[in-house]
């Protein structure tokens, strides 16, 4: 029996002819096997950048101090600071201290670059309480402090 235009074999030929989807789909596989298709490009890193997020820093202007015989205590009210005590850092110098508190929206800072008298930085310390920070400045010489900051001449 000869295949005529309406035979099942002629329908198959029309379905898989060169203009059909199956032809192009299979054609790509044949090209890839023959090496005619360009290889896929491997992704290459163009560059990276790390941007530091700069948060605003608010200077602390309200604090109090008490003069003791061997140490001066500085009291700073900071509501809720005790919930995250690791956010408080204090650096002591020979006659200075710098307290920084990291916050979510902004940082806070109390810096006294020139204290009235010299202190012992290695013996000075700070304690974080629920709503305040107490800084203990150990005096180098046992003198009375009437001011925390050095007076400007």
For the stretch 68-72, contacts whose Cβ atoms lie closer than 8 Å and that sit 24 or more positions apart, written own/partner, are 69/142, 70/138, 70/139, 70/142, 71/124, 71/136, 71/137, 71/138, 71/139, 72/119, 72/136, 72/137, 72/139, 72/145, 72/148
pLDDT, tens only, 71-110: 999 999 999 998 888 999 999 999 999 999 998 889 999 9
What letter does residue 149 receive in the DSSP assignment?
B
pLDDT averaged over every residue in the chain:
82
Handedness of CA 26, 27, 31, 34 (dihedral sign): positive
Given this model, what pLDDT does residue 28 score? 58
Q: Which residue has the higher pLDDT, 52 or 1?
A: 52
Predicted confidence at residue 22, as pLDDT, reads 53
Q: Please write the tens of the pLDDT for every residue from 1-36.
A: 454 555 555 555 555 555 555 555 555 566 656 656
């Amino acid at each position: 029996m000869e295949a005529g235009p309406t035979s099942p074999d002629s329908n198959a030929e029309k379905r898989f002819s060169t203009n059909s989807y199956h032809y192009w789909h299979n054609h790509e596989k044949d090209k890839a096997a023959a090496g005619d298709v360009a290889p896929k490009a491997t992704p290459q890193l163009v560059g990276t950048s790390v941007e530091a997020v700069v948060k605003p820093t608010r200077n602390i202007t309200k604090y109090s101090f008490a003069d003791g015989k061997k140490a001066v205590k500085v009291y700073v009210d900071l509501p809720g600071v005790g919930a995250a005590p690791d956010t408080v850092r204090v650096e002591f110098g020979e006659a200075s201290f710098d307290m920084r508190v990291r916050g979510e929206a902004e940082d806070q800072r109390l810096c006294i670059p020139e204290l009235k008298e010299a202190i012992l930085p290695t013996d000075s310390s700070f304690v974080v309480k629920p709503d305040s920070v107490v800084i203990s400045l150990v005096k180098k010489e046992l003198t009375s402090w009437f001011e925390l900051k050095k007076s400007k001449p």
